[in-house]
Structure 1
């Protein structure tokens, strides 16, 4: 929630690439996503880490000055909505086979 009580959620969406690298392994891109209001509340209630979701929205670029006084540029998806792409039973069974990625492995 923001200071004005508006629901907001920020998360990183892992998107698998449709091909394998030279070592025969699949790679993923990690995309920052921001979603607001009722859609953010629904996301918090229905999704968890590893959920298969579809996102609709726009790419936005913004910038800010960090604590060191440097200009930081951010590109992210401003999501309008999301759709669960698997059933609850599929979510539960995929938890047993999900890939564990630590925050240290993320590129940001």
Structure 2
């Protein structure tokens, strides 16, 4: 039997990081995943999928991901139930993530946090000039 899920979507809010009594990190988040088709009004709808991730990936997700960021999730679907405060059974279906991939760089107000001064100039970028290479420089 196979229970495998792969999702790409945007975080609907910042991930919530918590720790179990034994000190194991867990983060919960919801992904908005666009459907591949439009409705009758021509609008694209989305599914909102609850996800949970554990241990170091949970800490990384909570520390480096923010609302609106595009992430990829691989994992499995899990169902569970518990008794709510009103005494009724509550059923939960969620994706237990094995991996959360950050598909966008960390942003601050739409701008990359790395300034141009902090970036190393790439010596291999073509600047439009002619490159002079003599026959002695060639390895063959």
* Greater Rg by CA: 2
> Could you tell me how far 1:43 is from its partner in structure 2?
0.2
Moved over 4 A (4+): none
Matched with 1:93 is 110
Matched with 1:81 is 99
Matched with 2:51 is 33
Q: Tell me if 1:7 matches 2:25.
A: yes
Q: Structure 2: where are the runs of 5+ without partners? A: 1-18, 112-140
Matched with 2:67 is 49
* CA-to-aligned-CA distance 1:68-105 (integer Å, 9 cap, x gap): 1111111100001110112335x7539xxxxxxxxxxx
Q: Structure 1: where are the runs of 5+ without partners? A: 95-108
Matched with 2:133 is none
Q: Tell me if 1:61 matches 2:60.
A: no
1:18 to 28, 36, 56: 36
When normalised by structure 2's length, the TM-score is: 0.62
Q: How many residues align?
A: 93
Secondary structure at 2:62 match in 1: helix
For residues 74 and 24 of structure 1, the distance between their equivalents in structure 2, rounded to whole angstroms, comes to 31
Greater share of helix residues, 1 or 2?
1
